[in-house]
């Protein structure tokens, strides 16, 4: 849980296991303005200080950064960026490289939730039988998603992830997408605890996050495109993601392509215990 706030920042102990940051080890890739450490207990790499949520509502909104980030990657590391794009394309052949594809493949029809739904385009592809709901912190994006979801019986809550998820009824969703979300969330443990409350028995949770264990990070070091301070506030490996999932009542599994080392991202399916 974040504990102290000053100058628009919040200090954190480990956001996964809550071990005090005083025992953590500094990470050599840390940005000078944003200290990054590795938890002494669970091994999670995280920013010790993160922006207050108010900044995320506008100036740090991912909807304003996504296109800019893709262009930056292609310009700075074109070989690695195109390799990552090719991997995502190959995964698309399996029909699961998008939130809608993954939920259609693994979740039963019914109410489904996209946390960090942006403008709602990812759920626009859902087939009939799936009712889209969303949580989005940026107001303009939330309104755009609402225009897509409402005609299908769903709705969007304009809030941060943790408080937004908490506004839904218990055991309400057959599937939940945490696609490019957990790396941004200052309270990832609380977010998964909230998800555990609203997922139905037998439901599934899709997770996509950058893979700190990937070869690109080992080769490029501080120039790895996965590092974006202070937009990404923690960096998971398959092991640390599974640890957090287990601590919050989930089992985590990775498909064959889910943690391949030459992909900057990893993909997990969480199932409630």
Residue 43 is assigned to a structural domain of this protein: no
Q: Would you state the pLDDT for residue 93?
A: 44
Residue 234 is assigned to a structural domain of this protein: yes
Q: Would you state the pLDDT for residue 96?
A: 55
pLDDT at 95 over 80: no
Residue 6 is assigned to a structural domain of this protein: no
How many residues in the chain? 273
The CATH number assigned to the domain holding 177 equals 3.40.50.150
Mean pLDDT of the chain, nearest integer: 87
Q: Would you state the pLDDT for residue 107?
A: 97
The total number of structural domains in the chain stands at 1
The tokens for 265 are 């991202």
Q: Would you state the pLDDT for residue 108?
A: 97
Average pLDDT (164-169) is 98
Residue 37 is assigned to a structural domain of this protein: no
Q: Would you state the pLDDT for residue 256?
A: 74
Residue 185 is assigned to a structural domain of this protein: yes
Over residues 31-82, the pLDDT tens digits come to 888 999 999 999 999 999 998 866 555 554 544 545 555 555 556 556 555 5
Residue 27 is assigned to a structural domain of this protein: no
Over residues 100-147, the pLDDT tens digits come to 999 999 999 999 999 999 999 999 989 999 999 999 999 999 999 999
The domain in which residue 246 lies consists of 60-272
Lowest mean pLDDT among 9-23, 55-69, 139-153, 191-205: 55-69
Residue 25 is assigned to a structural domain of this protein: no
Give just the sign of the alpha carbon dihedral 207, 138, 35, 78: positive
Residue 115 is assigned to a structural domain of this protein: yes
Q: Would you state the pLDDT for residue 54?
A: 62
Q: If we measure between CA atoms, which residue out of 158, 163, 165, 161 comes closest to residue 139?
A: 158
Over residues 208-223, the pLDDT tens digits come to 999 999 999 999 898 8
Q: Would you state the pLDDT for residue 40?
A: 97
pLDDT at 272 over 70: yes
């Amino acid at each position: 849980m974040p504990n102290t706030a000053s100058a628009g920042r919040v200090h954190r102990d480990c956001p996964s296991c809550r071990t005090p940051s005083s025992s953590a080890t500094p990470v050599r890739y840390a940005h000078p303005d944003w200290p990054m450490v590795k938890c002494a207990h669970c091994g999670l790499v995280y920013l010790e200080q993160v922006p207050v949520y108010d900044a995320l509502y506008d100036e740090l909104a991912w909807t304003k950064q996504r296109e800019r980030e893709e262009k930056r990657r292609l310009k700075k590391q074109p070989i690695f960026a195109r390799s990552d794009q090719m991997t995502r394309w190959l995964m698309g052949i399996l029909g699961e490289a998008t939130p809608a594809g993954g939920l259609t493949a693994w979740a039963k029809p019914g109410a489904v939730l996209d946390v960090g739904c942006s403008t709602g385009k990812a759920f626009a592809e859902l087939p009939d039988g799936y009712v889209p709901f969303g949580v989005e912190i940026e107001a303009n994006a939330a309104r755009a998603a609402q225009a897509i979801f409402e005609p299908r019986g769903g709705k969007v809550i304009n809030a941060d992830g943790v408080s937004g998820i908490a506004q839904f009824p218990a055991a309400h969703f057959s599937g939940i997408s945490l696609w490019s979300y957990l790396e941004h969330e200052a309270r990832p443990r609380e977010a998964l605890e909230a998800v555990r409350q609203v997922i139905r028995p037998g439901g599934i949770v899709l997770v996509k996050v950058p893979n700190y264990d990937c070869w690109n990070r080992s080769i490029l070091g501080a120039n790895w495109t996965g590092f974006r301070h202070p937009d990404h506030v923690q960096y998971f490996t398959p092991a640390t993601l599974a640890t957090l999932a287990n601590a919050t009542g989930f089992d985590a599994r990775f498909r064959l392509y889910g943690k391949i080392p030459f992909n900057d991202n990893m993909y997990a399916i969480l199932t409630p215990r």
